[in-house]
Structure 1
Amino acid sequence: MPGTGEQDRTDRVLTVPNLLSVLRLAGVPLFLWLLLGPQADGWAIVVLAVGGATDWADGKLARLLNQYSRVGELLDPAVDRLYILAALLALGARGVVPWWAVAVLIGRDLVLGVCVVVLRRYGYGPFPVTYLGKAATFLLLYAFPLLLLGQADNAWGHVALPLGTAFAVWGVALYLWSGLLYLGRFVLAMRAGPVVAGAGTGRGTPR
């Protein structure tokens, strides 16, 4: 089931993990421009690598420093989605990724976005991040730079292209499967009904 509106998170905004997430967010338009403007694939891969490193670091630091927050809980997966969206649109425009795959993956996120809006109206929080969803994101974020490297007509390209294709196939499969699991949680929440505040607990419970 999705979490209720009240969770064991703080309302802090200025935390080290959140600052790292904002840094990653600032890299999204730069990443997109590098791919579509000068087509500087090497620098785009560097930006993506830095984003991946800070993605790992903000989760690690949140645990070490006990700096979990509601902002970070929403911002971290949102930035991941933006990197995936930017990479999909750029690689689709350059003919590296077929447009049907772009449409399927973006459609998955649009459907889940609508589900989140409905859940909030019912008093639930966003979908909790699952390991399957993180694994799918991990595979896709590794697939994109490998697919870019695979466009080069050299030894590196000949090795990177099949690896990138494999990462992409598994990433797309897990991305869609995790989307189905989230939809299952959405259906369970709708069957449970709206959340009502528990007496004296400050937490919501399904009605």
Structure 2
Amino acid sequence: MGHRTLPHQPSSRARRNEPGAFRRVLRRGAGTLILTIPNLISTMRLLGVGLFAWLAFARGESAAAGWLLLLIGWSDWIDGYLARRLNQVSELGKVLDPLADRLAIATAVIGGMFVDVIPLSLGIAIALREVLVGVGALFLAGHGRRIDVRPLGKLATFILYGAIPAFYVSHGTLLPSLFAGIAWSFGVVGLVLYWWVGVLYVGDARRAL
């Protein structure tokens, strides 16, 4: 009777390593993922900006718009946490996430200055920084380069997401002085950090070229 070759059975050690190998494959492919929970949240944040603009500028519902903007801004933290926790950091997410932030802040600040919700001094300082960073990002993109968002930049944006909504809420609440005080306190701290990170991005851009 001829010798039968049994099908190869992986060793117990190999079987134990299979989940780890699977996770490594997932990590290698994570950058190309599109349909992820964090990307879905970023897309919802982008759509939320349109709803915010409708509430604030078409309906004049400043308080409701302010609370919505707060939700849009602070969901950014949830977005980033889930991307890391679920191993779903993707190249698309690295574009959608800051895009949602920039669009929300630009809409709230520029629109807010026109309807006298955002003080001109603070609004112009924020808008100018946005323009400079935006031009720099376009310049880098034209050279096939991109820089990652700094954690300090995320913190500055997070603080401004406390200030800007508070200005809107102060125009549609029974406690305008309280929310205006909160808005200015967060706004000054956030603005200083915002510009400081902008300076750091200049160095990042030079190293990327």
- Bigger radius of gyration: 2
Q: Structure 1 residue 29 and structure 2 residue 53: aligned?
A: no
Q: For the structure 1 residues 15 and 180, does the alpha-carbon distance in structure 2 shift closer, same or farther, using more than 3 Å as the test?
A: same
Partner of 1:197: none
Give distance in 2, aligned partners of 1:51 and 1:153: 20
Q: Is the 8 A contact 2:74 2:158 kept in 1?
A: no
Give distance in 1, aligned partners of 2:147 and 2:44: 24
Tell me, what secondary structure is at the counterpart of 1:107?
helix
Partner of 1:205: none
Q: For the structure 1 residues 160 and 100, does the alpha-carbon distance in structure 2 shift closer, same or farther, using more than 3 Å as the test?
A: closer
Partner of 2:151: 131
Give distance in 1, aligned partners of 2:173 and 2:30: 49
Partner of 1:184: 203
Tell me, what secondary structure is at the counterpart of 2:171?
coil
- CA RMSD in angstroms comes to 2.2
Identify the match of residue 102 of structure 1 among 123, 131, 142: 123
Decide which structure has greater helix share. 2
Unmatched tracts of structure 1, length 5 or more: 1-6, 191-207
Identify the match of residue 160 of structure 2 among 136, 140, 143: 140
TM-score by length of 2: 0.78
Deviations 1:125-151 (A, max 9, x none): x22111221111111111112122333
Unmatched tracts of structure 2, length 5 or more: 1-27
Q: Structure 1 residue 89 and structure 2 residue 110: aligned?
A: yes
Cα distance, 1:95 vs. partner?
A: 1.4
Identity of aligned residues (%): 36
Give distance in 2, aligned partners of 1:113 and 1:153: 34
Tell me, what secondary structure is at the counterpart of 1:129?
coil
Q: Structure 1 residue 158 and structure 2 residue 177: aligned?
A: yes
Which region of structure 1 is more displaced relative to structure 2, 48-57 or 79-88?
A: 48-57
Give distance in 2, aligned partners of 1:16 and 1:170: 31
Cα distance, 1:12 vs. partner?
A: 1.4
Tell me which amino acid in the other structure corresponds to 1:173: V
Cα distance, 1:152 vs. partner?
A: 5.1
